[in-house]
Amino acid sequence: MTEEEIRAKARRYVELEQDELFREQVRTLLDAGDQDELLDRFYTDLEFGTGGLRGVIGGGFNRMNPFVVQRASQGLAQYAARHGEKAPDGSLRAVIAHDSRRYSETFALESALVLAANGIQTYLFSGPRPTPQLSFTVRQLNATIGIVITASHNPPEYNGYKVYWSGGAQIIAPHDKGIIDEVGTVGDRVRRISRQEALEHKLLVYLDETADDDYVAMIERKPVRRELLKTHGSDVRVVYTPLHGTGARFVERVLRDVGVEVITVPEQREPDGDFPTVEFPNPEEASALRMALDLGRRERADLVMATDPDADRLGIAVPDGEDFRLITGNQLGVLLVDYLFSSLKQTGRLPRRPAFVKTIVTTELQRLVAEHYGAEVFDTLTGFKHIAELIRRFETEPDQPTFVMGDEESYGYLIGAEVRDKDAISAALLTTEMALYHVQQGKSVVQRLQEIYQQFGYYEEVTISRSFPGQAGAATMQALMQQLRDAPPRMVGEIEVLRIRDVQQSTVFDLQSGTKRAMTDLPRSNVLQFFLTDGTIVSARPSGTEPKIKFYASASAPVQETLEDARQAVKQKLARIEQSINNMIESVGNG
């Protein structure tokens, strides 16, 4: 694209954007002749992907801003008008929520005004709300579509736009591609009405505490051992941080309603899109829990918890000796599977055919534990929309099991089927119940985890992420995945590769026999999995929301002598695997 073509696109954006702040950003770049920055903002349009939009906030077609959000909403409205399910009264309805990020409220309102201009009655939350509440409310109101403005746990310069379909789940095929195509046809033709006109015609309706009450009531039906919480809830001290996001009002309310004392980190309680006290508002990062851990030590807490800005991910730490131990997403999933399925079984509430659903990059230890309690275990691609689709199939197709729980390694958990996305609020309640139960049994959470390892073997996972920003980065990512397909490694971390599953091509290649067979149990996706001879699984996939490739490695060892011996054996194995993966990445980056 030539310099003049880039400048022409920039001038066109200035004409279309109605927000003066974003217009002025681009005008300043044009006046200064900052061609490098103009190129980055205009060499492409911010892609409306299979889940929606996510990008850096700023003026330009390759940024998150009011016009880009309006254009996406126009395409979504057009698609919903032709293919969406109507409410019982024959209307098209939408629900929109937003988190605490910069311009989230602006983007949410602009989305609502475009949908309203297209005749869609839109219910807009009056302030920041968790993503799982959006999913729940879409179902409650029989809405056609839902939108949540969030970039989850990304740095503060990002924001995003996620789309949900009727039923409360994020969009999947065929709607994902259909909406993408529709958004691509919009061009400059966006319909929008004023907030006042939308309110007068009842095309914009604000949601308030009544919607909150419905969501909270659903969560408070989740405990398995209500009597335990009623009798001993005050015995457990919880320190919690929402990391400047949307979780505080709900985690505090739910835990206090069941009698649990919760102490919220005061410096991080209020919503703040700058996330001033953390480098990344991500409960997967140890640094994000620093203030909560400090408070937990002072308060002698039994449990430390953190939710991300849109409150769909949960991270925890628990006492271990003289200090706290961070629990990984895989480990918390194991603990919740163990507690939930065992408790339902002990109390006689386990369904006849209970189902547990996990993603293909989540630890296999969860499978072993769930099957031990009689559950059927299902694998899906990464992303809760795939777990939600399985729930839909369980409910609508004959002779299917009953969904009990689903999770993914990236700190996402879903208990029950009322929500169709990961829900950190309900997970926080179950985690508190689980911790209280083990304390009442005379053991710590860490001790219970060690018992599980003793029974099933020691499992540990590592994730290697490498970012590739910009136009050149996208080409490097593509080249790396292509190299892994064209010349797959025969050894990873000095361990022989037994077979390779290519989810994009729906094949499994056996390296020993040289044969390839079809695989039809997963939708096509740009994912490669390498199954090693010792049972280790290494997976590679480009992120769907960020310019990075992620490698996941899960290794295990039986506990033959001591648990520490098994742990050290697995750690050494993972260190060799990580080095091998880094070498593969460097070979492409330097090529």
DSSP 282-348: -TTSGGGGHHHHHHHHHHT-SEEEEE-TTS--EEEEEEETTEEEEEPHHHHHHHHHHHHHHHHHHTT
How far, CA to CA in Å, does 353 sit from each of 250, 259, 371, 372, 464?
32, 33, 11, 13, 36
Residues 6+ apart with CB under 8 A from 465: 543, 548, 549, 550, 551
* One domain for residues 295 and 360: yes
- The candidate with the shortest Cα–Cα distance to 68, out of 17, 121, 20, 142, is 17
Q: Three-state DSSP class for 465?
A: strand
* One domain for residues 199 and 259: no
Residues 6+ apart with CB under 8 A from 397: none
Q: Which of 207, 240, 268 lies at the terminal end of a domain, its last residue? A: 207
* One domain for residues 145 and 158: yes
Q: Three-state DSSP class for 482?
A: helix
* One domain for residues 189 and 137: yes
* One domain for residues 197 and 289: no
pLDDT of residue 473: 75
Q: Which of 456, 488, 511 lies at the terminal end of a domain, its last residue? A: 456
* One domain for residues 420 and 338: yes
H/E stretch holding 585: helix 563-589
What is the dihedral angle through the alpha carbons of 267, 269, 272, 273, rounded to the nearest 10 degrees? 110
Mode of pairing for the β-strands spanning 412-415 and 507-510: unpaired
* One domain for residues 280 and 423: yes
Maximum pairwise Cα distance, the chain: 73
CA gap 416, 401 in Å, rounded: 13
* One domain for residues 255 and 381: yes
CA gap 459, 333 in Å, rounded: 13
Tell me if 198 is assigned to some domain: yes
Q: Domain with 397 in it: what CATH number?
A: 3.40.120.10
CA gap 149, 159 in Å, rounded: 7
Q: Two tokens at 211?
A: 């919607």
Q: Three-state DSSP class for 369?
A: helix
Please give the residue range of the domain that contains residue 189. Answer: 44-207
Tell me if 447 is assigned to some domain: yes
pLDDT of residue 456: 97
pLDDT of residue 415: 98
pTM of the model: 0.94
* One domain for residues 417 and 335: yes
Tell me if 31 is assigned to some domain: no
CA gap 239, 304 in Å, rounded: 5
| CB atoms inside a 10 Å sphere around CB 506 | 16
Tell me if 268 is assigned to some domain: yes
Instruction: Return the ∠ at Cα 58 (arms to 54 and 60), rounded to 5°.
Output: 90
Tell me if 71 is assigned to some domain: yes
Tell me if 27 is assigned to some domain: no
The one catalytic residue among 73, 104, 135, 152: 152
**Is 556 tagged catalytic?**
no
Q: Domain with 500 in it: what CATH number?
A: 3.30.310.50
Tell me if 24 is assigned to some domain: no
CA gap 266, 539 in Å, rounded: 39
Q: Which of 433, 456, 479 lies at the terminal end of a domain, its last residue? A: 456
CA gap 409, 393 in Å, rounded: 23
pLDDT of residue 494: 94
| CB atoms inside a 10 Å sphere around CB 374 | 14
pLDDT of residue 57: 98
pLDDT < 70 positions in the chain: 471, 544-546, 589-591
Residues 6+ apart with CB under 8 A from 340: 224, 404, 405, 415, 430, 434
Tell me if 9 is assigned to some domain: no
Count of domains for the chain: 3
* One domain for residues 447 and 463: no
In angstroms, what is the C-alpha Rg of the chain?
24
* One domain for residues 369 and 449: yes
Residue-wise burial string across 102-123, b where 16 or more C-beta atoms lie within 10 A, e elsewhere: bbbbbbbbbbbbbbbbbebbbb
* One domain for residues 245 and 197: no
How do residues 336-378 score in pLDDT, each as one tens digit?
999 999 999 999 999 999 999 999 999 999 999 999 999 999 9
CA gap 207, 218 in Å, rounded: 17
